Amino acid sequence: MIGPVFNREAVVAPRRSRLYISRAVYVMALLILMCTAWLVVAGTQLIRDVGDMARFGSILFQILAPIQLALITFLSAQTAASAISQEKDRRTLLLLLMTRMSNRELVLGKLGASLLNIWTMCLAALPVLLSITLFGGVSLEQVAQVFLVTLTTSLSAGSVGALVAFWREKTFQTLAMTALAILIWLGAWEAVHWLSGQQTIAGITAAELSTAMSPIRAIFAASRPSFGSSTFWLDAQVAAFLAASLAISALLNTISIVFVRRWNPSREVRPGQAEEASGSIWGAEHDLASESPADARDGHVDARVRAASTESRQVWNNPVLWREVCTWAYGRKVIVIRVAYLLLFAMTAAALYAIVSTSESSGAQLQAVIPDAAKPLAPFLLVSLVIINALAVTSVTNERDGQALDLLLVTDLSSKEFVFGKLWGVFYVAKEMLLLPLLLVLAICWYGVIGVETLLFLLAGQLVMVVFATTLGLHCGMTYANSRTAVGVSLGTLFFLFLGVVTCMVMMISFSGSFQTQLPPFLAFILGGGVGLYVALGSRNPSQAILLASLLLPIATFHAITSFLLGHSMTVFIVTTAIYGFTVAAMMMPAIGEFDIAMGRTKTAGEE
C-alpha cells in the first residue's frame, strides 16, 4: 500500500487491545454526551412538538462537531510528532534510513501509521453522529461534511507534526513548534475573519477566505444548515476548505519527502571533531609517507595532547539545575520556539487591544457569561501550559532515551536535587510562557475589563496551573519508561482536563437549567474522569493521595464551573487552588519519597 511501515502498523494494530479500548471509550463518551444533553433538556424544558426535537438535534450536533474536531486535531498532531520523535530518540530512524525504503514510503508510512488509530475512531463515531439525524434538524449532508472536514483536518495536523518531527532533533522542540504552528495558523485566520468583515480579496470576502482556510470556521459552516450555493451535496465553502486542506497536506508531505534525508541524520559538527570531518583521523595537514618514523610517532593519536581552548565552568551544588540553566539542554533551536511564541503573544495582545478598545467592551463584556476578552486569552493560556508541560515531560524522557538517566542513578544525586532541579529548570527555560500570560492579564485589568479582585484570582490561579502542568509532566516522565507513552499521557491529561471543562460549560450554556437538574447527568462524566485520571497517574505508582486527588478533581472542577456561571469568583478561586494544589502535592510526594523505586534504582521485595 503506502509502504512497509504502514503495512506493519495495519497488520499489528488489530492485535492490540488499545485499538478497541480507544474506540469503545470514544463512542461511549459521545453517547454519554448525547444522553446528558437530553436529560438536561428534558429536566428543564418542555418538549412540545417536532420543532423542539429538531432544535435540540441541531444544537447537539453543533456542540459535538467542534469538540470532535478539537480532539482529533490534537491527537493527530501529537501522535504523528511523538511517533517520529521516539524513532529519533531511540536512534531507530537511522536504521530505517539505511534500508531500501524510499523517502515517500518512509514519510507517508509513518504518517499513515500514526493516524490509523485516529481514523478508526472517526469511523467508529460516524454512526453516533448519524443517529442525531433521528432527532431532526440535521441532514445526512451535514454529517458527511463534518466527517470530511474532521478527516482532512486530521491529515493536515498530522502532516504538520510529521514535518516538524523530521526536521527537528529534540522532542520538546517538535512538540512545542507543532502546537505553536497550529495555533498561529488558527489565530491568523480568526483575525482575518474578525477584522476584515466583508472586505474582498480577489473577489472573495474575508469571511469566505477564512472559512476556506480555517478548520474552526469550516466546521461551523459544515455543522449548520446551508441555503447558499453548493457543489453537488457539499457547501461551496466547505468544498473550498477540503481542497485547501488536501493541498496543504500534499505540500507539507512533499517537503518532508524531499528533505527527510537531508535533515536526518543531523549534519551539525560538534566542537573538537573538525579534524575527523576532514576525512582522516590525522587531519588534512599530516602526510605519514613524507615523515620520518620518529615524526610519525610524535603525530600519532596516542601522543597528541590537546589543550583546552576555554576554562572549565564551575558546576553548582545541584548539577541537574546547573545543566538546565547554564547549558543548551534542549538544543539551540529553542530560540525559534521563543520567537514563534512571541509572535503568538503579539497576535493575542493585538486581539485583546481590539476587543477592549471598543466602546461597548467595558460594560457589556463584564455582564456576558464568557467575556469576549477571554476568547483570545484562553487559548493563549492553554498553549502556554501545553508547552510548559511538554518541556517538563521531555526533560525526563530525554535523559532516559539518551542513556544519561542510568548514569545519574549511579551517582549520589538525591531525589530532591533531581526533582527540584528539573522543576526550577523548567521554570527558567519556559520563563516567557510563565511571565507573558501574566502580563496580558495585567493589561486587561489596566483597561478596566476586570477588577483588582479578579486580577488577583487570575494571577494566583495561573501560577497554580503552571506548577500543576510542570509537576504533571515530571510525574509522567518518571512513571512511564516509554517516552511516547509518557508524552501522550502527560499532554493528553492536560488537554482532556481543559476539553472537559469547555464541554461542560458549552452544554450548560446551551441547555440552561438548575444545578439540581444538571448534576445527575454529569455524574457519569465525573466518575469516568476520576477513573481515567487514576489510571493515567496512579496505576503505575499507586498512592492513596493520587487516588483521592483523581476522585476529587473532576467533582471540584464541575463545582468550579457551576460557580463561575453563577458569578461566584471567590468560590472558583478557592476550589481550583485547593484541588490542583493538593494534586500537585499528591504527585510530588511519591516523586521524592519513592524516587529510587520509581526510577528503578532499588526494587521492592516482590520484584527481587
Q: What is the DSSP letter of 231?
A: E
What confidence score (pLDDT) does residue 129 get?
92
Q: Both 258 and 327 in a single domain? A: no
**Which of 248, 263, 278 is the last residue before a domain boundary?**
263
The answer to whether position 284 is within a domain reads no
**Which of 241, 263, 285 is the last residue before a domain boundary?**
263
- Closest of 347, 423, 435 to residue 384, by C-alpha: 435
Q: Both 256 and 326 in a single domain? A: no
Domain housing 402: 319-600
The answer to whether position 140 is within a domain reads yes
Q: Pairing between strand 200-201 and 234-235?
A: unpaired
The answer to whether position 300 is within a domain reads no
Q: Pairing between strand 230-231 and 204-205?
A: unpaired
Q: Both 247 and 332 in a single domain? A: no
The answer to whether position 314 is within a domain reads no
Q: Both 423 and 488 in a single domain? A: yes
**C-alpha cell of residue 134:** 433521528
What is the widest separation between alpha-carbon atoms in the chain?
A: 106
Measured over the CA atoms of residue 380, residue 381, residue 384 and residue 389, the dihedral's sign is: negative
Give the containing element (helix H, strand E) for 201: strand 200-201
Q: Both 162 and 33 in a single domain? A: yes
Q: Both 96 and 215 in a single domain? A: yes
The answer to whether position 396 is within a domain reads yes
Backbone angles phi, psi at 201, to 5 degrees: -130, 110
The answer to whether position 270 is within a domain reads no
Which mean pLDDT values do the consecutive 10-residue runs of the chain (608 residues) have? Answer: 84 85 88 80 69 86 90 92 87 87 91 92 93 89 93 95 90 89 88 68 74 90 69 76 94 94 67 43 43 52 56 78 84 85 91 74 51 82 91 87 76 82 91 92 86 88 92 88 86 86 75 60 75 83 84 85 81 90 86 57 48
Q: Both 489 and 577 in a single domain? A: yes
Q: Both 246 and 324 in a single domain? A: no
Q: Both 358 and 259 in a single domain? A: no
- Provide the CB-side half-sphere exposure for 572 (13 A, CA): 18
Q: pTM value?
A: 0.82
Q: Decide: 439 and 459 in contact? Cβ < 8 Å.
A: no
Q: Both 361 and 225 in a single domain? A: no
Q: Both 205 and 343 in a single domain? A: no
Q: Could you give the CA distance from residue 598 to residue 596 in angstroms, rounded to a whole number?
A: 6
What confidence score (pLDDT) does residue 233 get?
67
What confidence score (pLDDT) does residue 506 get?
75
Number of structural domains in the chain: 2
What confidence score (pLDDT) does residue 171 get?
86
The answer to whether position 302 is within a domain reads no
Q: Decide: 371 and 365 in contact? Cβ < 8 Å.
A: yes
What confidence score (pLDDT) does residue 10 get?
86
What are the start-end ranges of the H helices in 168-235? 171-196, 206-213, 215-223
What confidence score (pLDDT) does residue 271 get?
46
The answer to whether position 606 is within a domain reads no
**Which of 223, 240, 263 is the last residue before a domain boundary?**
263
- Closest of 194, 237, 230 to residue 212, by C-alpha: 237
3-state secondary structure of 603: coil
Q: Both 390 and 464 in a single domain? A: yes
